[in-house]
Amino acid sequence: MTTEAAVTSFVPERPAGVTLDGCSLFHIWNHAVRRQRTTAQANESPVRTLLSPDAFLMTNLVPQDAPHPLYSSQFTELCKQFLLDHMLDVSVDPNDPRVTSPGGLPASTLAANDVVFRKDSQGKITVNDNPVKEVETLSDGTVIYTIDNILFDYRQQIQEAFEKLMEEEASNYPLEGPPF
């Protein structure tokens, strides 16, 4: 397995086997694909491994009654990069012996950032030192790793985008709050 991945400029189509039950990225992924409306391009780079943050983490990225930057047209690029950095175009088998090697099994996301899969002597898997809560292999061979964190610095980027949305929202209501 090479650590080089083709950099993708679009969000690939969601494999049919990736459902809401198994993937916290389900709704954001569907939204991003609909927004770009390029299904011909989307089929060029199928996702073989998905690094899905825990559903609780995804649900609580921003307050649930507030605008979400990953659904905002203002932050389309952030949404795309967030998704691509949680996708790989190679299937990473959790039983691959390289995962237990000292250096782990290196790979690249569709956004060309490096990730390393490791398994310790107790069989616990990590991705970039983030614990894996569950691994599921779908019938089409897609492997979903549910991780107990959000990769790279996206939590901070999403928080900053959220704050910008809230500032803009507040400027639309000069009396400090939306009319009820």
Domain membership of residue 86 (yes or no) is: yes
Domain membership of residue 106 (yes or no) is: no
Please report the pLDDT score of residue 127 as a whole number.
98
- 3 state SS of 167: helix
Domain membership of residue 80 (yes or no) is: yes
Query: Would you tell me how many other CB atoms lie within 10 Å of the CB of residue 99?
Result: 18
Please report the pLDDT score of residue 1 as a whole number.
46
Please report the pLDDT score of residue 16 as a whole number.
72
* 72-125 residue pLDDT tens: 888 989 989 999 999 999 999 999 999 999 999 999 999 999 999 999 999 999
Regions of the chain where pLDDT drops below 70: 1-9, 20-22, 37-45, 170-180
Query: What domain count does the chain have?
Result: 1
How far apart CA 64 and CA 94 sit, in angstroms, is 34
- Tally the residues of the chain: 180
Please report the pLDDT score of residue 39 as a whole number.
45
How far apart CA 99 and CA 105 sit, in angstroms, is 5
Domain span including residue 85: 26-91+131-171
- For every residue of 74-108, DSSP letters joined together read GGHHHHHHHHHTTEESS---TT-GGGGSTT-EEEE
Domain membership of residue 135 (yes or no) is: yes
Domain membership of residue 44 (yes or no) is: yes
Domain membership of residue 66 (yes or no) is: yes
Please report the pLDDT score of residue 132 as a whole number.
97
Please report the pLDDT score of residue 44 as a whole number.
47
- Alpha helix (H) residue ranges in the chain: 26-36, 39-42, 55-59, 76-84, 154-171
Whose structure tokens read 């959790």?
94
- Given a contact cutoff of 8 angstroms between Cβ atoms, the answer to whether 50 and 18 are in contact is yes
Domain membership of residue 14 (yes or no) is: no
Domain membership of residue 78 (yes or no) is: yes
Please report the pLDDT score of residue 121 as a whole number.
93
